[in-house]
Amino acid sequence: MGKPHYSEKQNKKASGTKLRDLTKAQEFAVYEPPNASELLVARVYVNFGVESGVELDGRLIRVANRRQFPTVAGDLVYTDGKVVEGIKPRGRTLARYADEGGVRLIASNLEQVGVVISASTPPLHEGFIDRYLVYCRIMKIPLFIILNKMDEAEAGIVERMKPFQDAGVDLFLCSATMETGLKAVRKRLERGISVLTGLSGVGKSTIINAMLGEDIPVQEVSAATNRGRHTTTAAEAYKLGETLLIDTPGIKKFGFIGISPTEIIKGFPEFEEHVAECKYEDCLHLNERGCGVRAAMEEGRIDERRLASYQDLVLGLMEQEVTQNTRR
């Protein structure tokens, strides 16, 4: 078998703190073996660690992983039916900054991302949605929101979604336990390979159970912490009609990787028309004099919470870059 096209140094760069381009996450460990024409191509449903669960000729089987080819749900891999021999070029990926440093691939070859949030518990944090909106706008992945647990909805929760709808994000209201609103969600999911993501306890697995009849373990939200526990341990794909639905582990924080502070504004399209009013071209809309974006907020043309969230993301990313540079 031939060697992958990346060196050990490049491997460390792709999985370490020096990654500065999201496309590098898509390219990580991609490799076409010299005998590719003689191998089969399979779709990865889940990575078990030493093995991957793949679909091959309509059957789900396990094949052994090679350490140099870490797979994620959605990958297309070369295999002889027993071992992963390479990974085909990835389409759009979902990746995040890992707490220990570096990049963590979650899923690949995506056509849309659905962020599931709760209308009750765990409580809504708009900043969590903002992070995905920034990422998806940069990666050009369509994003939509599923507001679950509408049977327990807190007062005013739907109104808090209006800024996202104004930014062009589709919103779906449902209750997975009551099985209401799921028809519209399923119709959206059937557009193409989708990944569902969100905080632990928002009901991602319950939604999939209701739609597919799959027995995915579901964990109640802890009364002590008002947070969910991690039930799904690795991103896993499920067949949904002619496409795939990928469930991801519930996460507490979606950290950016390969994104600069100046790119954050892409997740806030309603700001763009006011950027031209800024006195300085390099204005980050924090506390600079003559900022057109802050002036628009003060005049009520921009939602105050959205601007505060934008500023939190920019400052957080600047702090993260300082931490990364310190580690190098």
- What is the pLDDT of the chain when averaged over all its residues? 84
CA distance 41 to 84: 10
Percent of the chain whose predicted confidence (pLDDT) is above 70? 81
Q: What are the tens digits of pLDDT across the range 224-268? A: 333 334 344 579 999 998 999 999 987 667 777 778 899 999 999
Identify whether 261 is preceded by a cis peptide bond (ω within 30 of 0): no
- What is the per-residue pLDDT for 6? 29
pLDDT greater at residue 4 or residue 48: 48
Q: Which helix (H) or strand (E) element contains residue 194?
A: strand 194-197
CA distance 54 to 62: 6
- What is the per-residue pLDDT for 259? 84
CA 106 to chain centre: 7
Q: What are the tens digits of pLDDT across the range 66-85? A: 988 889 999 999 999 999 99
- What is the per-residue pLDDT for 230? 39
- What is the per-residue pLDDT for 258? 75
The yes-or-no verdict on residue 2 having pLDDT over 50 is no
The yes-or-no verdict on residue 48 having pLDDT over 80 is yes
Number of H helices, E strands in the chain: 9, 13
- What is the per-residue pLDDT for 327? 62
Q: What are the tens digits of pLDDT across the range 184-231? A: 999 999 999 999 999 989 999 899 888 887 655 444 433 333 333 434
Q: What are the tens digits of pLDDT across the range 83-140? A: 999 999 999 999 887 666 667 889 999 999 999 999 999 999 999 999 999 999 999 9
- What is the per-residue pLDDT for 228? 39
CA distance 65 to 326: 34
18-22, 24-28, 289-293 — most confident range: 289-293
- What is the per-residue pLDDT for 214? 61
HEC per residue, 249-311: CCCCCCECCCCCHHHHHHHCHHHHHHHCCCCCCCCCCCCCCCCHHHHHHHCCCCCHHHHHHHH
- pTM of the full structure: 0.84
pLDDT greater at residue 229 or residue 288: 288
- What is the per-residue pLDDT for 95? 87
The yes-or-no verdict on residue 19 having pLDDT over 60 is no
In the chain, which ranges are continuous DSSP H helix?
8-15, 22-27, 126-139, 162-166, 182-189, 204-212, 272-275, 292-298, 304-327
